[in-house]
A and B are shown apart, each in its own frame.
Chain A
């Protein structure tokens, strides 16, 4: 027999690969099968659920915007301005990407809580963060912004700075160059960073529940509501899970050129 036989190594690899794919596909499949499609509209429009949806959207968009407002300048400084201790500062601001979100929540609480290190000063001027909608946004920004910073910093580093030189020889001030050349050139990376940060904020659970609590209408976002629903109404939990899944899927498709490209 001289016919080619699949060798043992290939067989093992393919079997494990099928297992790996099933590992992701089966739970998602179950989510779809188990969903109470007939009562879906009713479940999702229940006051608590609708409130969580709205709150999630508002807070995640706000967190993404805040991430861009603070993150783009941060990325620019990391890419362009040398300063002592940059490695350390940069590591600290990247930490939330790998830090357990609960730890982030605890850190925020001991910093800005009413008896926190900076909380008393805030309290003195009438600002009370913990357990408010603002706290949700802060918690989400805390975990989401590093994704935007990483993406935009890489773009600032890799762009051809001679475009900025060209703009200056044409008479553009530094501010004008930033607005009309630098930012447009990093726009694709900024877009990707925004979507990543927004998706991360939307799914945020640990830091939010620790720092902002779980109050329907003010701090109970979709992931929190889904977790809570598990104890009372699993149908709602499944539907909320599906809604978050759909959003994630859309994000992945939107960014497919960046993360799914094999080329």
Chain B
């Protein structure tokens, strides 16, 4: 089970030219700023905008302009969770979810739909109208509706963007476990690096319609190949177990955090929030680590300094600071960052 995409498409002002592959059971994040062509790419894979190139799902061509193949949207085994969810406002939740099975001529469409509502824990919403749902509920209904057609590919277009900040973190956690239920290929479009870091296995970074970098999420986050990617995704991602304001990460290190939740947690720290010192600093930052410089990459305005410490860290400093500190590979340094600079997300 796999997906291969190599297409060019344009819709209005947005054009996209992307090549990537994905395997079943994994989530690929398409990450890019607004206007990068992410939605156009998803719509092209779903067959909603004309595209040239190839889209091959499980060895079957959905799109192959060389052979003149373009399977119509309604016959692609592709489920889509749209931005803003697009639940049919005139139908109940149950009828929304039953829409796909019914349109595909399945008997017992309502029974199938009821099953999906139960699986996603929203059976009590069956008779509700979409307008009365909260953002988190609507997201689940949209997912149920997309999964009810038993697709082999699931496309999610900014599934969390319609939510307010407080709900987003909660729904993101739910989405993580819900996505695991679906065994096919999952492609998630997002502008939020946290979505990519916490929900995806690999990432495709889009800039102005072209792929600028792709690979395993941790790999791309650790080694962004351009300032653009560094700005977008180049943040330090740590995973560990949180308790009493401390995050225990692999290797036995403890990191001070402000959150007081207990459980598995992601923590992200922007490289620009990490300060470097030749001597052990004394001050308010609660997190101080010693390590050796393993790599320095300089762009025009910033240098990214990679540190082999108890936890691997990337710090972003000015070229002037690199010169002043005399940084070269192998130099031993102290790195510090404040607990308040750490964003945390329960897994």
Q: Which residues of A contact B (CB under 8 A)?
A: 160, 162-163, 165-173, 176, 180-181, 184-185, 187
Contact = CB atoms under 8 A, between A and B. Distances in A.
Contacts of B89: 185
B48 interface: yes
A174 to B, nearest CB: 8
Given A165-B48, A166-B80, A171 B86 contact: no
A162 B157 CA distance: 13
A173 B74 contact: yes
A162 B86 contact: yes
A181 B82 CA distance: 16
A162 B48 CA distance: 10
Nearest to B106: A171
Given A176-B103, A180-B99, A171 B90 contact: no
Nearest to B84: A162
Contacts of A172: 74, 99, 103
B191 interface: no
A169 B78 contact: yes
Given A162-B82, A165-B48, A170 B90 contact: no
B88 interface: yes
Contacts of B90: 184-185, 187
Which has the most chain B C-beta neighbours within 10 Å: A167, A168, A170, A173?
Answer: A170
Nearest to B104: A171
Interface residues of B, number: 23
Classify the secondary structure of A's interface with B.
Answer: helix
A170 B82 contact: no
Contacts of A184: 88, 90
Interface in B58-107: 72-76, 78-80, 82, 86, 88-90, 99-100, 103-104
Q: Closest 9 CB pairs between A and B?
A: A170-B100, A172-B103, A171-B104, A168-B73, A171-B103, A169-B80, A166-B86, A184-B90, A171-B74
Contacts of B146: 169-170
B145 interface: yes
A169 B46 contact: yes
A171 B71 CA distance: 12
B161 to A, nearest CB: 14
Contacts of B314: none
Contacts of A171: 74-75, 100, 103-104, 149
A184 B95 CA distance: 14
Contacts of A176: 103
A175 to B, nearest CB: 11
Contact of B48 (A168, A180, A187): A168
